[in-house]
Chain A
Amino acid sequence: MQPADDRNPLLDGLRIEPTPSPTALIIFGASGDLTRRKLLPAIYHLSRGQRLPARFTVVGIARTEMTDDQFRQQFHDSLKEFAGVAKPDDVSSALARRLFYVHGEMDDPALYRNLLAKVQACGAPDGMLFYLAIPPEVVGPVADQLATAGLTTAPGADAWRRVIVEKPFGSDLDSARALNQRLHKYLDEPQIFRIDHYLGKETVQNLLVFRFANGMFEPVWNRRYIDHVQITAAETVGVERRAAYYERAGALRDMVQNHLMQVLALVAMEPPIAFSAENVRDRKLDVILSMQPFVNDRDDADHVVRAQYVAGWVNGAPVSGYRQEEGVNPASTTDTYVALRAYLDSWRWAGVPFYLRTGKRLPKRSTEIAIQFRKPPLHIFSRVSPTPIAPNLLIVNVQPDEGISLRFEAKLPGTRMQLAPVMMNFRYGSAFGRAVPEAYETLLLDAMLGDATLFARHDFVEASWALITPVHEAFARAKASEIPTYEAGDWGPHEADALIAADGRRWRTL
C-alpha cells in the first residue's frame, strides 16, 4: 500500500483504473496449458489497456528446460493462438523483453535462489505476485520453499508479496484445512488469493450490481416471492486431457465445491454494508454456513444425484463414454454429472430450494442462474385465457451470451384477452457494444492491486468442503454398478429429473 503522502499525483482524476505498483509476476507452471491459454493473453490485454505498472516483469518457472528467448517465443505463440495477435506488435514486443524464465525442480532450493537472483536483476520491484498454476499436491512444497528463500516476506512498507492459488483448494475438508494451515504458516490471509475464474466473469460480478444497485429487485428477493432457484453449469466437452485429475475429482469436486457454491452465495447473500473484500466475503460465508447438509439424518430425502456419461452424440458427432476416455479407469465410478437440492436455514430463504446441476457431455455449453418467482395468488384470466400462466422468471446468463432476461406475461395483440409469456432481454454484447474482459484479466489485476473481493477466503473454502465432503464420501462408498448413467448429449440422468420432479418442478431446458 502506498503511503498517502507519496501517492502518484498524476493519477488524480485520470480516467484509468488504479494501476498496481511495480510488480514481478512469477508464474509457477509457466510451460503449462493455463499459462499459454489464459495467463499470457491476459497479461498482453492488460498491457494493451495500460493496466500494468511501468515496471512490470514476468518470470516463468517450470521443470521444462527453456531459455528466456524460448519463453518469449512461447508468449508470442500463445498470443497468436489464443489472443488473435497474428504477429508481434509494439506492445507484445515491449512486454516480451520483460519476460524471463527459470527452470528447475519445484522442491529444489537452488530454483528459488535462481529466481531471487533473476528478480533482483530485474530491479527487485515493490511487489511480487506468485501465481501457482501447478498441481495441488505441489502447492504446499512450493510455499515452503518460497518462505525458506525469504520470498514471502516483504522487505519494506511499500513492498508486498502475494500468492495466487489455483483450484482445487484441497480435495476434501481435511486436505483443505491442511493446505490453509500450511499457507498460513508463511502468509497472512490477505496475501493469499484463491482464484475461481467464475468470479471474474462479468455477469457474476454484475449479480452484485443487479441486486444491490437497483431498488426494485431486492424487495422481492426472498421466500415470499421466489419459488426456487436453478443454477446450471453445462459443458459439451468430456474430460479431454484432464483425465488424471478428473478421475480423482469428478464433477462434484471440480465444479460444485467451488464455482457453483460461489455463484449460489452471490445469489443468496444478504446485502453487505459496503463493497469491500471482507464485507462481501463475510456475507457470502453466511450463506454457506446457513446451508443444510446435503447428507443428513433429518429426512429421508435424497438431495444429490450423480451420474456418468456413456457413449452418445454431441454436436452431431459420436462421442465415447467416460469409461472409454483415454486415461480413465474402465471401471471408474467418477461422477461426470451432479444434481443437488440445497436449502438454506435463513429468514430470507427458508423453504426455497436451490437446485444445482453440472455435467460434462451435455447438449449445450451454458451456465445460467434461473430465479423462478411464485405465481400470482389468483389467476383472474383463467376463464378468458385458459392457458396456465408461466411464472415470472429472471435468468442470468453467465456464459455464453452474457446477460439478463426477464420473462413475464403479456396480452397478445387482438380483441380477445389472450396471454403469452414474453422475454425482456439485456445482453452485454449488444447493450454496451464493447468487449467484455476475460475473467483472468480482471482477477490478475485485482490480485496485483490487492483487492481480494473476487477471490475465495479460507473459511468459505472450508465451509464449502464441509458440505461437499460427506457427499463425496457417500459417492466413494457406492459400488461402480450403482452409478446412474446418461447418454452423452442428453440433459443428465432420469434420477436428476426425478429429484426435482419430486417437488413438483422440472429442470429448465436450456
Chain B
Amino acid sequence: MTVLAAIRPTGWDFPLFLHVLGAMVLVGGLVTAVGMQASAWMRREPGELLAYSRGGFWALLTVALPGWVLMRVGAEWIRSKEGWTGDNDPTWLGIGYILADAGFVVLLVTILLAGLGVRRVRKQGATANLLGRIATPLATILLIAYLVAVWAMTAKPD
C-alpha cells in the first residue's frame, strides 16, 4: 500500500480528490440527516417535528445526493484510469461498487420516505412522523455501510 501510494501516477490525483470529496460530503449529509431525523423522532410538538423532519429531508436531498453523484463520478473516472476491466477487479473494488450502487437505491428510497413524511406532517399537523421514522434507520444503515466502504477503499483487502 505504501509503495502503491508512492508510485500513484499524478494523473490519478484529481479524480481521486473528487471521489474522496464526494464521499466525505455524502457522509456529512447522512450524519446531518440522521441527527435531524433522530431529533424529529423524539419530538411531539408539530412545529418542532416539522422543522426537524424538513431538515433531515433537505440534508439528504441537497447534501447527501450530490455527494453520492460526485463520489460515483470520481470513482468511475479513476477506475477508467487504473485500467480495471471488470474481469480482474480486486475485492475492495467490488465491495466499493456493491455498497455505492446498492446504497444509491436505499438513498433514493430514504429521500422519498423523508419527503413524503414531511408532506404528511405539514398537511395533517401530526405529532409523529411514521415515514420519517422508517427513513431514520435506513439513513443510519447507509452511514454505516459507507464507513465500511471507507475501510475497503483504504485498507484494500484482497
Partners in one complex: no
Interface residues of B (CB under 8 A from A): none
Interface residues of A (CB under 8 A from B): none
